[in-house]
Amino acid sequence: MKRVMVLALAAVLCVAFSMVAYAVDVPTGPVKMDATKKPVIFNHDTHKDYKCGECHHPVDGKENYQKCATAGCHSAAKADKKKAGSYYKIVHNKKAGKKSGIATCISCHKKVAGKDKAQKKALTGCKKSKCHP
């Protein structure tokens, strides 16, 4: 009997938890960032220690889960590559996050890797990194 109650309670908690979670579901499989020539596979499950908003920053004060290269957002056009806020920069800018609090892929990976050479290569390198294997 006790066991049944524990199970019932667990079920209720699961439902309650999934309702308060987020406005959208986290993708369960890999997401392909393919707006440019060198696509990158992004996995939410290897980044679950972070808040959604650390990457999916709000737009006009509202939660936002649009693709980064949505028209009017982060341009993936080759001509814009070097401009602040371009698709390339929001991935590669090493110094981002100090003022805005919004990290780029590499600015966070740089912190994560610290002085570990293998991790640096894997998480902040270009060719043969985990991003561009």
Which is closer to ligand HEC, CB of 12 or CB of 70?
70
Distance CA 88, CA 16 (A): 39
User: Which phi-psi region, left, alpha or beta, contains residue 30 (left: φ > 0; alpha: ψ -120 to 50)?
Assistant: beta
| Residues touching ligand HEC, count (CB under 6 A) | 30
**What token pair was written down for 88?**
């390339």
CA 54 to CA 107: how far, in whole Å?
12
Q: Of 43-102, which residues contact ligand HEC (CB under 6 A)?
A: 43-44, 46-47, 50, 52, 54-56, 65, 67-69, 91
In the list 8, 13, 14, 22, the residue contacting ligand HEC (rule: CB under 6 A) is 22
Q: How far is CA 27 from CA 24, 44, 116, in A?
A: 9, 7, 30
Which residues make up the interface to ligand HEC (CB under 6 A)? 22, 24, 26-27, 31, 33, 40, 42-44, 46-47, 50, 52, 54-56, 65, 67-69, 91, 103, 105, 108-109, 112, 123, 130-131
